[in-house]
Amino acid sequence: MVSTQLSPSFLGYLSAELSEKTKLAVEIKDAKPVSGGDISAAFMLTTNGRRYFMKLNSQSAYPLLFERESEGLDAIRQTRTVAVPQAVLHGAFEDNAFLVLAWIETGAKSSQALTALGQQLAAMHRCTASHYGFEHDNYMGSLPQSNTKHTKWADFFINERLQPMVQTAADRNLLSTRQVDLFEQLYARLPELFAEEQPALIHGDLWGGNYLVDTAGKPYLIDPAVSYGHREFDLAMTTLFGGFSSDFYAAYHEAYPLAPGWQQRAALWNLYPLLLHLNLFGASYLPQVIDSVNMYL
């Protein structure tokens, strides 16, 4: 468990690193714990010049966690489509891995903001690659995520998304042999259940807690688990826990319509985050996982 108390030596180190990075004399005046770090401790750093958002976790428990997050934010930023917080600094002090981001003062998730987010996500999904996957592996929440490249989405989704989660669940006795066999049946059917598309840059963990709106109404994506994937995956995740309005979907589909029947495939793509929740939080997610598999057999 990461402490919510930051030592004077750590704060001194951060001040020096921020000074070096920004080429300004930075002095941290206050480090206040805040919500929003998800699996990490989170702080608002108040300095003599500005505020920052910092995430803190164990370097040994989650190696390269924040390097990968920073690279994911940069991949989205380079599309020039949807905003992300500026990644100012990442590193480690003893076993404290940290990521310092620009502070975003949050505002209301208005109709206009959700419309803009839908349009901007559609524009981001037009940024494509020749293969599904990514240049490096990363994390989905606190679990490692493989991004080995494939030419077909079905192969990528089976080999780099479903199978690792199914194997982990089986190893933890969260899935029985019979239930694992259901996934084997699904793998055989998967290519006929959807239409292949060119790989699109996807956020990869797009639930309602992973976007912000600032006080000017500008939307931001946060906490990415990026890869080049099927864009239906991002839209499916938006339906899993709510948090996205009809304005968002209308704007997205006007800008970049999805293939007919995408709503019926949402439960298929959501098997991956549901398996992740099964592995992280236990058997309460098992009925939803099995019901979703059976929908496609």
Instruction: Render pLDDT for 60-90 as a digit per residue (tens, 0 to 9).
Output: 999 999 999 999 999 999 999 999 999 999 9
| Amino acid at residue number 295 | M
For residues 240 and 122, membership in a common domain is answered with yes
Q: What is the pLDDT of residue 69?
A: 96
Q: Is residue 2 part of a domain?
A: no
Domain tally, the chain: 2
Q: What is the pLDDT of residue 199?
A: 98
Contact indicator for 158, 187 with CB cutoff of 8 Å:
yes
**Packing angle, helices 163-171 and 177-189, rounded to 10:** 170
For residues 235 and 193, membership in a common domain is answered with yes
For residues 143 and 272, membership in a common domain is answered with yes
For residues 51 and 115, membership in a common domain is answered with no
Q: How far is CA 17 from the centre of its chain?
A: 27
Q: What is the pLDDT of residue 49?
A: 86
Q: What is the pLDDT of residue 4?
A: 54
**Cα separation, 82 vs 206, whole angstroms:** 13
For residues 74 and 188, membership in a common domain is answered with no
Q: Is residue 3 part of a domain?
A: no
For residues 115 and 166, membership in a common domain is answered with yes
Any idea what the CATH number is for the domain that residue 149 is in?
3.90.1200.10
For residues 74 and 123, membership in a common domain is answered with no
- The reply to whether 38 belongs to the active site is no
Any idea what the CATH number is for the domain that residue 91 is in?
3.30.200.20
Structural domain ending residue among the three candidates 102, 127, 145: 102
Q: What is the pLDDT of residue 2?
A: 43
For residues 128 and 40, membership in a common domain is answered with no
Task: For the chain, list residues with pLDDT below 70.
Answer: 1-4, 37
DSSP codes of every residue in 7-53: -HHHHHHHHHHHHHHHTS---EEEEEE-S--TTSEEEEEEESS-EEE
Q: Is residue 256 part of a domain?
A: yes
Contact indicator for 98, 15 with CB cutoff of 8 Å:
no
Contact indicator for 209, 136 with CB cutoff of 8 Å:
no
Residue partners of 2: CB distance under 8 A and separation at least 6: 40, 41, 56, 57, 58, 96
Contact indicator for 242, 274 with CB cutoff of 8 Å:
no
| Amino acid at residue number 13 | Y
Range of the structural domain that residue 60 is part of? 8-102
For residues 49 and 183, membership in a common domain is answered with no
Structural domain ending residue among the three candidates 102, 120, 149: 102
For residues 48 and 133, membership in a common domain is answered with no
pLDDT above 70 covers what percent of the chain? 98
Contact indicator for 124, 137 with CB cutoff of 8 Å:
no
Structural domain ending residue among the three candidates 71, 102, 133: 102
In the set 30, 205, 214, 234, the catalytic residue is 205
Q: Is residue 276 part of a domain?
A: yes
For residues 118 and 150, membership in a common domain is answered with yes
For residues 89 and 188, membership in a common domain is answered with no
